[in-house]
Structure 1
């Protein structure tokens, strides 16, 4: 059976999620700047994602964290990316989005790569735009040398996550990139799942 590891970074950017007592808008799973990610949007995307996992003969248990958390992480990453791309006047073409979506990453197929990022392949355009845009922005910042500036831009947008979806991992690092830790609601992470993120 295929296995997936949850990737925690988009491009080279490290995301700092801020979990606080409650988002500023009722019914929000997260608030990213002025953009609200509703619980209904999260629920719909999670159902689409679970269906895509099933279609690929994969199971949510292989993620190591609940599907809701990986989908919420992706929605937040895309919202943050959209804001920094707009702020830096980065335009992305349809061809660049197509190319980003064809990348297999570290997996054997583009489909598995998308699933590892919390993306249902049938609904991946916004994610592809974010990836292509972040790549262009890093080049604009000086290529590999610009990765630190890209990370700073990415971390300058501080999302507010509804605590009902989990608690931020305070010991998040390169070795343990998981965004969430057990808040007593989702069950305990195994040591292996926690280190795999």
Structure 2
């Protein structure tokens, strides 16, 4: 689930749909009301809730049938935690891009959007695709495309692509420099692997058949 391939998908979607109960208070007394602190800047629980609400509202608008909407909710049943993952990863990527001197112009974003709209059969088609496949609501589309361009240009400057260790090493360094601190109720942040990790439950033992264990 946290393989490099999966983390690359998370990066490029920049907002994977996942869910968990929303919190109204932070479990970390050092940062009350924060879902995470990245580079000394808080991502508040309220901000996280608003992001999740944006996705749900877009899903509701796109699917008017109650049964289909219920199915959409079920398919994105863990929206909160991975939305937070995406918000943190976005900041890590932006820091790595800044450190490498990578910038993205508004013109570049618009050019990318036009090309994608042509492939998707128009603006509405692109918005629907990004919502269904990546959990990106229409109002966040340009923001997401900017992040994708940052990732692509950063990888190109490093002489690699977004699936390779060199790229993820750059993100790992940025993540470490930012000092990501997650509210424990949302898990923890692994700076080396650049991913959110669910909190372990000590009293539950996970037993895998010998020879069938997977590493991440």
Q: Normalised by the shorter chain, which TM-score bucket? A: 0.5 to 0.7
The answer to whether the aligner puts 1:91 opposite 2:97 as a matched pair is no
* Map of 1:10 onto structure 2: 11
The answer to whether the aligner puts 1:60 opposite 2:70 as a matched pair is no
- Relative contact order higher in (CA < 8 Å, ≥ 6 apart): 1
The answer to whether the aligner puts 1:161 opposite 2:161 as a matched pair is no
CA distance in 2, matches of 1:153, 1:60: 35
TM norm structure 2: 0.60
> Once the 2 structures are TM-superposed, how far is the Cα of residue 135 of structure 1 from its aligned partner?
0.4
Gaps of 5+ in 1: 12-20, 185-197
Larger Rg: 2
* Map of 1:128 onto structure 2: 145
* Map of 1:70 onto structure 2: 82
The answer to whether the aligner puts 1:142 opposite 2:159 as a matched pair is yes
CA RMSD of aligned residues (A): 3.7
TM norm structure 1: 0.65
CA distance in 2, matches of 1:140, 1:182: 35
- What count of residue pairs does the alignment treat as equivalent? 162
- Write out aligned runs for 1:178-197 (5 A): 179=196, 181=198
Structure ranking higher in helix proportion: 2
Gaps of 5+ in 2: 1-5, 13-26, 64-68, 202-216
| CA deviation profile, 1:52-86 (whole Å, cap 9, x unmatched) | 122232522112x4221232122112111111111
CA distance in 2, matches of 1:23, 1:78: 25
Over 3 Å counting, the alpha-carbon distance change for 1:145 and 1:60 in structure 2 is closer
Preserved CA contact (<8 Å) 1:7 1:116 = no
